[in-house]
Amino acid sequence: MLAVANVAFPPVFSPRPFKMTRRFSWRYRAERVSAGYSQLEVNFFLAPLVVRKVSYRPPGTEQNLLNETSLSLREKSFGLIFGRSGSGKTTLLQLLAGLSEPTSGSICIQKYDDSGNPIGLSEVLASQRVGIVFQFPERYFLSDTILEEVTFGWPRQKADILLREQLTLKLQKAINSVGLSAISLDKDPQSLSGGFKRRLALAIQLVQTPDLLLLDEPLAGLDWKARADVVNLLKDLKKDHTILVVSHDLRELYPLVDRSWRMEMGGVLKEEPLPV
């Protein structure tokens, strides 16, 4: 077992050629990492996500993909969005992660006091406070070792040593929380089993202690054993995180779900119990 606290940091990252399919994730991770780590020491009051009448029309197109989508999700709970393919579920996750801007509407967190009264105005949800695991995240792994993969985008300057130490502690916690602590960080991420690749993808996001964790089809492409494994992991993560999932795997995720919504074609979202 390799203790994360003692590992040497990899050398300054030098971009390598990557496939087109990786470009989106690569750039997103690098930008978010550099923007987000400066805020690590801020203690955020975790508060419910409030999405108000969000519509989205991609630039240069004439039709809305989302129409006045609203939802709210309290902290440390599990929300699930289901619905037909092409209805706009992934588009909504991308908006929540700050990858695109809503055409109208707002995505906020609202603080409450102990009596349940809102404190002040709601705050816009900063993209650095959101973790997103894309569908088939293992396709976007870039590195030859787990250590390089999880520390990708970390600050490398000598002056950032304190920040790196803080990150290392958070990494240790993230690795433990996804059950990867017995795996050598020298291993090639691609040599992991399907379920463990998903654990790694989750750990990468958890290092930043996000206020909101977004998962797009977390069970897709896994065998039955790995699916059960990921469901159990999500059950654990739910104790400490606010999680919003897009999935077609309703039966397996059903025991975890606190609120669920059906998205209809045209991006109209309606709260509805799972049809299982």
The binding site for ligand ATP (CB under 6 A) comprises 58, 61, 65, 85-91
Cα dihedral: 82, 84, 86, 90 (round 10)? 10
Burial class (CB in 10 A: 0-12, 13-18, 19+), 160: middle
Give, to the nearest 10 degrees, the angle between helix 224-237 and helix 194-206. Answer: 20
Give me the least distance between CB of 260 and ligand ATP, in Å please: 15
Q: Answer for the pair 150, 163: CB distance below 8 angstroms, yes or no.
A: no
* Amino acid letter, 231: V
Give me the least distance between CB of 189 and ligand ATP, in Å please: 24
User: Nearer to ligand ATP by C-beta: 266 or 273?
Assistant: 266
User: Nearer to ligand ATP by C-beta: 53 or 84?
Assistant: 84
User: Nearer to ligand ATP by C-beta: 61 or 117?
Assistant: 61
Q: What distance in Å separates the CA atoms of residue 16 and residue 192, rounded to the nearest whole number?
A: 22
Residues in the chain: 276
* Amino acid letter, 23: R
Give me the least distance between CB of 164 and ligand ATP, in Å please: 36
* Amino acid letter, 2: L
Q: Answer for the pair 48, 75: CB distance below 8 angstroms, yes or no.
A: yes
User: Nearer to ligand ATP by C-beta: 87 or 260?
Assistant: 87
Cβ neighbours of 72 (radius 10 Å): 14
User: Nearer to ligand ATP by C-beta: 62 or 114?
Assistant: 62
Give me the least distance between CB of 90 and ligand ATP, in Å please: 3
Give me the least distance between CB of 213 and ligand ATP, in Å please: 17
User: Nearer to ligand ATP by C-beta: 87 or 177?
Assistant: 87
Give me the least distance between CB of 266 and ligand ATP, in Å please: 9
